[in-house]
Structure 1
Amino acid sequence: MEDSSLLKESFGLDVDTSMILYSSGPIVFKLFGLSLMGYLASRLVSRMARRIDDPRTQRQLEFFAPKIVNVLVIAVGLEFAGVDITGMAALFTTVGFTGAVVFTPLGQNIVAGIVTSIDDLFEIGEVIEVNGEYGTVVSKSLLRTELRRPEGTTIWVPNKELSEEVTKNHTRMGGFRINVEIPLDNNPDRRRAVEIMDRVIAELPWNVPGKKAFIAFEDVADSAVVYRAYAFIRDRSEEPIYVSKLLTTLVDALEADGLSVGYTTNLAMRTPNDLSSLV
């Protein structure tokens, strides 16, 4: 009772410290147990996150999970201490969630990532295009989606753009159409040229089945007649490769039959007698 006498002498308080310890003891033990449970929960979540193959998702979980656990521990601790947090929790949750979603890129990207997963816009390995960027989906995380470009470079598209911009899934669209321009100079035999190009383009081994490749007569220029060849590929990210293949195949076939491919100037098409008249 010495502590009680000291408090009485110093502050004029008649307090029984044994009653304080008895009444606060259960709360102390509860808070200690709660803190221990929170620590163990954080360790468990971190250990589970390390088993995830994607390093970005792993780092994101290791960052967010302990903070969420700490908030829950504080909330339950206040409840044990007798503080009514129902109204406060509802208010903070509403304001915090609204602010995070509306005003921060972090929240917007997380929500957009959830929405795109629910909508099933794409899967890993499919080719998509968004906001002018396209590539094969390598990975998806809480904040961004990784695309591999045709030349091997990698770009990361924020999930917010996937939900706000027009996203095209070329894999599910059944192919992507490519085209090349074929100019034929020196007044070619157009019928023979079209027959050659039709035969070649009908035998393309890589054109998407069910999609018809075709030749279109496009323009008559000063120095050439211009055709355009169309074909379909599965992977939009491989467009440069197949554009080159299509152009090479057509040009080789035309030149093998004696047809000249390319533009020429009016001067180059003149005979020597015509050129002498210009002197």
Structure 2
Amino acid sequence: MEIAEILDFTVPLSSITLERVVLAILVAIIGWIVVKVLTSTFTTALSRASNLPGLVVEFLARFFSVLLYVILALIVLAALGVDISSMVLGLSAVIGLILGFGLQDSINNLAAGVWLAAFRPIDKDEFVEVKGISGKVVSVGILATELLKPDNTYITIPNSLVWGNPVINSSRMETRRVEVKVGVAYDSDLDTAIRVATDLAAAHEKVLPSPKPAVVVTELGDSSVVLALRAWTKTSDVGGVQGDLNRGILRAFREAGIEIPFPQLDVHLTGAE
């Protein structure tokens, strides 16, 4: 049997010849390579030729890649001899029906992803909180945002939830305020307590001199007067400064003779006559 006869062999239950199958496979392989190259080139060019943040570049690259794969699939079908025009019309009807019943959320997530990429309430590697979930932003995809929690737990959140809810961004600003609350006994010298706490913060090498550290009375509690030590530091130093001040204020108050009382409850019993 000659090669031409083999290539003219028709796949059972169809009008597709073996020649078209081979051609479609070659188109798929070459197209896959072309898509990879184009996506990589597009990402590199977009990164170099614009000031867009990495998160936006990644989102656009993913979207561009999906679009190219859809085009490749249509080209492969055309190579097989499938009528693309009728298929597009049929797919449009099916997609319209599916959208009417079950893909509203996907469309909302897609639109939210576009808004997130455009307005950037969050960015890659920033630490954010969304609906009580905190973590570092790994990526914003076409439909979902991915966070990595401090305990190395990977969280995927639909984009519509990110865009439709308040987002607490702990990394966006260069500086942040640290607050340490401590209770002192009612008979303590408040002026001394405030001075000791203020001096402690001012002496810390990573506490910024401006705005100056401050200590305020925030509450007259049941067992103590609650003081809040507030100091400003670089965002990257927040965790370390917070821990240092918590440990330092305990030691400084002990050395100054300032009592940090335990919660107390007075119970009065009245005996029946």
Normalised by the shorter chain, which TM-score bucket?
Answer: 0.5 to 0.7
Q: Which moved more, 1:33-42 or 1:118-127?
A: 33-42
Asked if structure 2 preserves the Cα contact closer than 8 Å seen for 1:101 and 1:111, the reply is no
> What is the rounded CA distance, in whole Å, between the counterparts of 1:130 and 1:116 in structure 2?
13
- Aligned twin of 1:201: 201
- Shift, 1:44, TM fit: 3.8
Identity score, percent: 19
Where structure 2 has 5 or more consecutive residues not aligned to the other structure, the ranges are 1-17, 44-58, 267-273
Alignment-mate amino acid for residue 41 of structure 1: G
Whichever of the two has the greater Rg, that structure is: 1
What does 1:29-68 align with in structure 2 at a 5 Å threshold? 36-45=26-35, 66=69, 68=71
Q: Deviations over 1:85-130 (max 9, x none)?
A: 599379549837x928972544443443233112233322222222
> What is the rounded CA distance, in whole Å, between the counterparts of 1:95 and 1:209 in structure 2?
61
Q: Does 1:141 align with 2:141?
A: yes
- Shift, 1:75, TM fit: 6.5
Q: Which moved more, 1:119-128 or 1:57-66?
A: 57-66
The two structures have a TM-score, normalised by structure 1, of 0.61
- Shift, 1:194, TM fit: 0.9
Where structure 1 has 5 or more consecutive residues not aligned to the other structure, the ranges are 1-27, 268-279
Alignment-mate amino acid for residue 125 of structure 2: G
Report the secondary structure of 1:250's partner residue. helix
C-alpha spacing 1:174/1:129, structure 2 compared with 1 (3 Å):
farther
- Shift, 1:192, TM fit: 0.8
RMSD value, Cα: 4.7
What does 1:257-268 align with in structure 2 at a 5 Å threshold? 257-263=256-262, 265=264
The two structures have a TM-score, normalised by structure 2, of 0.62
What does 1:122-137 align with in structure 2 at a 5 Å threshold? 122-137=122-137
Q: Which moved more, 1:65-74 or 1:161-170?
A: 65-74
C-alpha spacing 1:137/1:208, structure 2 compared with 1 (3 Å):
farther
Q: Deviations over 1:181-237 (max 9, x none)?
A: 211126111111111111122333334675554211123334322212233455599
> What is the rounded CA distance, in whole Å, between the counterparts of 1:92 and 1:75 in structure 2?
20
> What is the rounded CA distance, in whole Å, between the counterparts of 1:49 and 1:62 in structure 2?
6
Report the secondary structure of 2:226's partner residue. strand
Report the secondary structure of 2:129's partner residue. strand
Asked if structure 1 preserves the Cα contact closer than 8 Å seen for 2:207 and 2:241, the reply is no
Q: Does 1:71 align with 2:74?
A: yes
Report the secondary structure of 1:41's partner residue. helix
Q: Which moved more, 1:87-96 or 1:201-210?
A: 87-96
Asked if structure 2 preserves the Cα contact closer than 8 Å seen for 1:223 and 1:264, the reply is yes
